[in-house]
Amino acid sequence: MHIPDGVLDPRVAVATSLVGGAGFLYAIKRLNHARTERTTVLMGTTAAFLFAAQMVNFPVGPGVSGHLLGGVLASALLGPWAGMVVIATVLMVQCVLFGDGGLTALGANFINMGLIGAGGGYAIQASLRRAISGPRGTLLAVIAAAWFSVILASGAFAVELALGGRVQDFPSILTWMALVHAGIGVGEALITGGVVRYVLLRRPDLLEIADGDAEADRTRGRRATEAVLAGLVVALAVAVFLAPFASEFPDGLEFVGSRLGFLSDSPGLMPAPIPDYELKWPGFEHARIATALAGLVGTLVVFVVGWGMAQALPAPGKRGVAADVV
């Protein structure tokens, strides 16, 4: 997800730098209005945490691993504007200190992970929070937002590549990016949900969007169920919509990977449960059907895990009991 220098078309690099720069300055302007003495301390700590968390890769398939993007986590903890600036901070340090991500691609990386990841992710979670109250709603909202933010960011990367290249290859690039990042999104959702759950239990005051409303009325309860079901349907539809493109990829990008050696050089830490995003079940040998099933399974796993984590939270009004991990 960290685009290096020299990959984007120079015109796209200039355009994304302008858009990203404008978005960054607007976030700074909004943040300056609400700045307190401790704002930069909270942002610095969150940035340091995301920086460290991004260094830990998790396997998402054979030869492919992912890492936390953290946009939704940052915006959940600090709000959208601070979340965006935190992502910009992390990107700047990674680029300058570690050479990870290009200087001329900072704008594109900020658009993908800051504007879309933190800003867009916040919009998704805030919308869900309006329908689902209480800490359970908060948790479900951030989990769903985390998954969608990764998919959207990968889509933006595909657009940035296609704008400077061959437009006819856009569907292939988009599908490949979305499929790989659907797996990364699961990891993003699990980590974001886990951290937010812990913070909800120990320091719910830190969560900018957690309202702690213990008295959700029945109407809101029905709206919550409807919202959850609607979100699940949308997620499943996205998975099924994207999956049929997948069969075009093994020929194209696996060829690139094998010729350049980047697919065989980075084995996953553990065997993937759904290798190649295809379920190898008897009777499901057609690649499109198998990949669509894999997308469905991945989406359902995110939903079930998120729902399970939310149910494991103490009911509103009861005192949360967090396990002291140390």
Partner 1 sequence: MSSEPGIAPLTSSWPSRLIDPRAAIALATLYVVAVVAVPLAWWRTLGGLALGLAFVIGVLGITPRAILGRWMGLLLVVAFISGTAAFASAERARLGLIPTALAMAAKSALAAATMLTLTSAYPFIRLLAGLRGLHAPGLFVDSLYFMERFRYLLVDELDRMMIARRARTFRRSSLAWGLLTGLLGGLFLRTLERSLRVHDAMLSRGWTGELKVLDE
- Shortest spacing between CB 230 and partner 1, in angstroms: 27
- Shortest spacing between CB 218 and partner 1, in angstroms: 31
Q: Which stretch binds partner 1 (CB under 8 A): 24-32, 109-117, 129-137, 217-225?
A: 24-32
Asked if residue 1 lies in contact with residue 111, where contact means CB atoms within 8 angstroms, the answer is no
Q: Is 103 in the site for partner 1 (CB under 8 A)?
A: yes
Asked if residue 126 lies in contact with residue 72, where contact means CB atoms within 8 angstroms, the answer is no
102 vs 121, which CB is nearer to partner 1?
A: 102
Output the CA torsion 191→195→138→180 (10° steps): -10
- Looking up tokens 């719910």 gives 204
Q: Is 272 in the site for partner 1 (CB under 8 A)?
A: no
Residue from 60, 72, 74, 95 in contact with partner 1 (CB under 8 A): 95
Residue from 51, 122, 148, 303 in contact with partner 1 (CB under 8 A): 51
Q: Is 8 in the site for partner 1 (CB under 8 A)?
A: yes
Binding residues with partner 1: total (CB under 8 A):
83
97 vs 319, which CB is nearer to partner 1?
A: 97
Q: Is 198 in the site for partner 1 (CB under 8 A)?
A: yes
Residues 284-323 that bind partner 1 (CB under 8 A): 323
Q: Is 60 in the site for partner 1 (CB under 8 A)?
A: no
Asked if residue 153 lies in contact with residue 137, where contact means CB atoms within 8 angstroms, the answer is no
131 vs 161, which CB is nearer to partner 1?
A: 161
Helix (H, G, I), strand (E, B) or coil at 66: strand
Residue from 97, 251, 282, 318 in contact with partner 1 (CB under 8 A): 97
Q: Is 190 in the site for partner 1 (CB under 8 A)?
A: yes
311-to-131, 140, 190, 224 alpha-carbon distances in Å: 17, 10, 15, 14
C-beta neighbour count of 233 within 10 angstroms? 10
Q: Is 215 in the site for partner 1 (CB under 8 A)?
A: no
Q: Is 195 in the site for partner 1 (CB under 8 A)?
A: yes
Q: Collect all residues with Cβ–Cβ distance below 8 Å to 116 and sequence separation of at least 6.
A: 71, 149, 152, 153, 156
71 vs 227, which CB is nearer to partner 1?
A: 71
Residues 160-179 that bind partner 1 (CB under 8 A): 161-162, 164-166, 169-170, 172-173, 176-177
Closest CA to 191 of 308, 68, 311: 68
Residue from 130, 214, 229, 266 in contact with partner 1 (CB under 8 A): 266
Q: Is 204 in the site for partner 1 (CB under 8 A)?
A: no
Q: Is 52 in the site for partner 1 (CB under 8 A)?
A: yes
95 vs 124, which CB is nearer to partner 1?
A: 95
Q: Is 88 in the site for partner 1 (CB under 8 A)?
A: yes
Residue from 22, 45, 221, 234 in contact with partner 1 (CB under 8 A): 45
Asked if residue 89 lies in contact with residue 109, where contact means CB atoms within 8 angstroms, the answer is no
Residue from 18, 22, 96, 304 in contact with partner 1 (CB under 8 A): 96
Based on its alpha-carbon atoms, the radius of gyration of the chain, rounded to whole angstroms, reads 20
Q: Report d(CA 21, CA 13) in Å as an integer.
A: 12
Nearest 5°: phi and psi at 303?
-65, -45
What does the block give as tokens for 4?
């290096």
Q: Is 33 in the site for partner 1 (CB under 8 A)?
A: no
Asked if residue 117 lies in contact with residue 146, where contact means CB atoms within 8 angstroms, the answer is no
Nearest 5°: phi and psi at 142?
-70, -35
Residue from 33, 218, 259, 319 in contact with partner 1 (CB under 8 A): 259
Nearest 5°: phi and psi at 70?
90, 0
